[in-house]
């Protein structure tokens, strides 16, 4: 709101995935005790809350409460056989590249590999201190995720993903709104979890694809955030 004043509040609400300008304004004022327009006009007159409570998380999207369940799990070393595509801020694939990626995914599914776990996309989080996904991603890795490295018919490029802990949640719906779930994980859940970021890729594991469902709302994407125990972590 401060640094991109060429965008209206309504434009910002739409980019953030809110259903309406009103829903964004209501959620913003509830969280920060000031309206978006008042804050934009006088940013020094208010101090925004850095962390979002669980109640506010359910309000952020402007939809009914749907819950936001996070599971902490541990995985051994994984491998991603990947290609790359251009993306925009928040790691979202450019719309004109989605069909190409879906075609590549379909080809990958024909490969026979007993180590195959599923289709995935991945990016690096640039800083362990960030509260949201970094805006400087210029490419996104996509391909298959495996328990072990074997064969390179689809792509010769392999990325090793370190073993460790992961915070996992499921995003239901269109890919264009998945950045909201990532931001909840990093900006809301992580600071109060007792865990901290582990420097490796974060990735999305696709349970189904747009070509396999009748409605966008049926899409299921599992989000994996790399974490490690902090000084106050409790199992």
The reply to whether 98 and 155 lie within a common domain is yes
Same domain, 212 and 99: yes
One domain for residues 16 and 92: no
Cα 78 to Cα 48: distance, rounded to the nearest angstrom:
39
Cβ neighbours of residue 2 under 8 Å, at least 6 residues apart? 40, 43
Tokens 């879906």 locate to: 102
Give the residue from 140, 153, 144, 127 showing the smallest Cα distance to 78: 144
Q: How far apart are CA 217 and CA 170, in angstroms?
A: 13
Instruction: Render pLDDT for 79-93 as a digit per residue (tens, 0 to 9).
Output: 999 998 766 545 555
pLDDT tens column, 131-183: 334 444 456 789 999 999 877 788 999 999 999 999 999 998 887 778 778 88
How far apart are the C-alpha atoms of 175 and 134, rounded to whole Å?
17
How far from 103 is each of 96, 106, 142, 210, 231, CA to CA, in Å?
A: 13, 5, 12, 11, 45
Is 98 in the same domain as 163? yes
The percentage of the chain sitting over the pLDDT mark of 90, rounded to a whole number, equals 22
Whether residues 215 and 185 share a domain: the answer is: yes
**233, two tokens:** 């972590």
Statement to judge: residues 105 and 25 lie in one domain: no
114 lies in the same domain as 215: yes
Q: In this structure, is residue 188 part of a structural domain?
A: yes
Q: What is the dihedral of CA 208, 210, 216, 220, to 10 degrees?
A: 20
**Residue pLDDT, tens place only, 21-57:** 888 888 888 777 888 888 888 876 666 654 433 333 3
- 45 and 96: one domain? no
The lowest-confidence range among 75-84, 90-99, 192-201, 225-234 is 90-99
β partners of residue 74: 165
How many other C-beta atoms can be found within 10 angstroms of the C-beta atom of residue 176?
15
Domain range for 206 is 71-229
Structural domain contains residue 65:
no
Number of domains in the chain: 2
């Amino acid at each position: 709101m401060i640094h991109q004043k060429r965008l209206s509040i309504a434009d910002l609400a739409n980019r953030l995935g809110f259903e309406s300008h009103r829903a964004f304004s209501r959620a913003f004022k509830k969280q920060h005790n000031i309206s978006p327009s008042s804050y934009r006009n006088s940013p020094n007159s208010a101090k925004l809350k850095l962390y979002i409570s669980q109640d506010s998380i359910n309000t952020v999207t402007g939809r009914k409460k749907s819950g936001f369940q996070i599971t902490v799990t541990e995985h051994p070393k994984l491998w991603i056989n990947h290609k790359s595509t251009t993306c925009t801020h928040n790691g979202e694939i450019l719309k004109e590249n989605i069909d190409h990626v879906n075609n590549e995914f379909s080809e990958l599914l024909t490969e026979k590999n007993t180590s195959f776990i599923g289709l995935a996309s991945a990016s690096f989080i640039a800083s362990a201190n960030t509260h949201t996904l970094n805006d400087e991603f210029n490419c996104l890795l996509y391909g298959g995720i495996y328990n072990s490295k074997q064969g390179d018919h689809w792509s010769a490029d392999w990325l090793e993903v370190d073993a460790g802990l992961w915070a996992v949640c499921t995003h239901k719906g269109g890919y264009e709104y998945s950045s909201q779930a990532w931001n909840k994980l990093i900006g809301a859940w992580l600071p109060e979890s007792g865990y901290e970021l582990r420097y490796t890729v974060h990735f999305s594991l696709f349970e189904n694809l747009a070509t396999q469902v009748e409605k966008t709302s049926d899409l299921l994407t599992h989000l994996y955030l790399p974490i490690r125990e902090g000084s106050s972590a409790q199992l």
